[in-house]
Amino acid sequence: MKVHKEGYKTIFITLALAIMFSIVALDIFEYTMWAWVAVALFIGFTIFILSFFRVPKRVANGSGTLVSAPADGKIVIVGEVEEPEYFKGKRIQVSVFMSFFNVHVNWFPISGEVVHYKYHPGKYVAAFYPKSSEKNERTTIVIRNENGTEILTRQIAGLVARRVVCYAQKGKMVEAGGPEGFIKFGSRADIFLPLDAKINVKVGDKVVGSETIIAEIK
């Protein structure tokens, strides 16, 4: 299993604490059943943290016109909205909510040039609330495909998440399914699409990052 580099520090600290607490538990409970139960719990928690930072192998099904899911999770918003930051007009918003148990790697949804990038510090309210896209820590990335069509993708930190990591750089070419970044411990990914985009998902659908085609654009 491949582990994401953003998890190295967290995993090391968790492992060190698990070893320390296991030693303490064995000493306090004198190697009784309760001592081994405590050790098993510490090991289980370490494995859980390790699995959270796993990097699964994925097929890149997106392209310049096929928009793939930027993250694993559940579709929580599909609809026409006003996008005030970059487009300053109406767009179709599709949002993927990542629960605490999802992989939190993010993938670029289309191939093209990064024409806009901005990091926004902010609050940490629950990511499934619509207003979190305006209030929470987040990044805004705009990608233009070879036909000149632009989409906006946004990483949004959640209630527990305290760090958004983004690898996008303005002026760089990116590929659909390439590594966009990482968000720790529960978050959301938004995509803002042209009004003539063909949407292939609905609220409640579960999507797989880099593989599920959520929309088609020109």
Bridge partners of residue 207, in order along the sequence = 73
Would residue 187 show up in a list of annotated catalytic residues for this protein?
A: yes
**pTM to 2 decimal places:** 0.82
Pick the catalytic residue from 22, 132, 187, 210: 187
- The owner of tokens 């699995």 is 51
pLDDT in tens, 109-145: 999 999 999 999 877 666 555 556 667 889 999 999 9
The answer to whether the CB of 183 falls within 8 A of the CB of 31 is no
For the four alpha carbons of 75, 54, 67 and 149, in that order, the dihedral sign comes to: positive
CA–CA separation, 158 and 98 (whole Å):
9
Question: Hey, is 34 helix, strand or coil?
Answer: helix
C-alpha torsion sign, points 205, 211, 158, 135:
negative
pLDDT in tens, 40-69: 998 888 887 777 777 788 999 999 999 999
